Amino acid sequence: MNNYICFLLIMGFLSLNASAQGKKPTDTHSVTTAKEDHKGIDFHYDWEEVKKIAKEQNKYIFADVYASWCGPCKKLIRETFPNERVGDFYNENFINFKVDMNETENKSMNSIFRVRAFPTLIYYNPDGEEVYRYMGFRPAESFIREGRRALFDKDVLAQYEEDYKNKKNKKSSKFLAEYINYMNNGGVIKPDVVETYLNLQSKKDLTNATNTDLIFEATLDVNSPFFKVLQENKAHFEKDKGIFETNMKIRNMAIMNVQTAIQEKDDSKFDQSISIIEGLTLDNKEMLNFQLKLDYYLKMENWDAYKRAANDYLADNELTNHSLLNNIAWNFYEQIDDKEDLAKAEGYARAAIKIKSVYNNHDTLAALLFKQGKTNEGKEMADKAINIAKATKKNFKSTLDLLEKYDQGMLKE
């Protein structure tokens, strides 16, 4: 039986969770300001003062409305808010406010924030008007993306687009960098603007502080002209932005490209992603590519490629994930008839059972035994699967169907 879950969904593939530990301040709205002892977000704790500062500085407001008992709230405080890149982005673009609604003196403030669950993250324009909100934990990269979304205004983008028609602006690195950064807020960056910008930069300029920040932030996919710069200067970005952060950013874009390859049924894009990941400095890149191959070939129904990928990897590597082994074995059972490959699949199913004796694993092995004509052992394994299912209150109809199928003499020893 197949209990396969799409690998790309399991991974939460856009998450980037590198962060540093920070010190939690006392959270009451009566405190005016308090700079936390880390490189992350600098929070204010007086709402009226925050609105005043935002108006004076023409900045947006970010509000973390949370409760001290809330698990996801603690995770934000522990992992996301102290992140240096998060701090750089939010401190530059927002006046940041935090309030613990579990404190008695703060509960009346819910008339302002109107929250029903924690954490609720709210964004306001400089006039104090709400523009965006969402609930729940976000890792660093996703949290920055949410902030960019809050800052985005289509009318402002339209003005940039109009200004871009001016030949003088097309020769201004400053204007083009601002335009690219603003497009980044909306999540779509026009390649021709990036190309225009890059044509103004010398090779040496590409790794200066301004371009390091711009390229790292505004490289959204592997087809961006910035992506080539990021790859060619990977060592520089690893030094400036961190080895883990740089490689995870490239990894995430490669995985996004796999999703596109699946949607477009484009083998060349898939091969491109595999090649990109092979060049990364990540401990698990071989396993990552293996699972991406299985997922892609499964979606493309390319069973010859699927079995080659599985057999090649498992010939040299031992898997400890019984569900993955079971999924591979089941797909062999359903799609492959070669005797040698079925024998290998039987081995994968037995390895899955050895790791964990659960219903799905026994059911898969029973099916493979039947398909190879090993009827007596197949029946014994099917009975084991049914007994496990009864003990664990699982539905075992598929195993009964399997027994009926082979009892009718479809395969005999």
User: Token pair of 395, please?
Assistant: 């539905």
Task: Supply the pLDDT for residue 3.
Answer: 57
φ/ψ (deg, to 5) at 61: -115, 135
Neighbours of 21 (CB within 10 A): 8
Task: Supply the pLDDT for residue 16.
Answer: 39
Question: Could you give the CA distance from residue 71 to residue 121 in angstroms, rounded to a whole number?
Answer: 15
Task: Supply the pLDDT for residue 407.
Answer: 74
CATH class of 303-407: mainly alpha
Write the pLDDT tens digit of every residue in 38-77. Answer: 589 999 999 999 999 999 999 999 999 999 999 999 999 9
Q: Give SS3 for 43.
A: strand
The secondary element (H helix, E strand) that includes residue 145 is helix 140-151
Flag residues of the chain having pLDDT under 50.
4-37, 411-413
φ/ψ (deg, to 5) at 311: -65, -40
Task: Supply the pLDDT for residue 15.
Answer: 42
Write the pLDDT tens digit of every residue in 277-301. Answer: 999 999 999 999 999 999 999 999 9
Q: Return the domain boundaries, the chain.
A: 33-138, 155-241, 303-407
Query: Identity (one letter) of the amino acid at 393?
Result: K
CATH class of 33-138: alpha beta
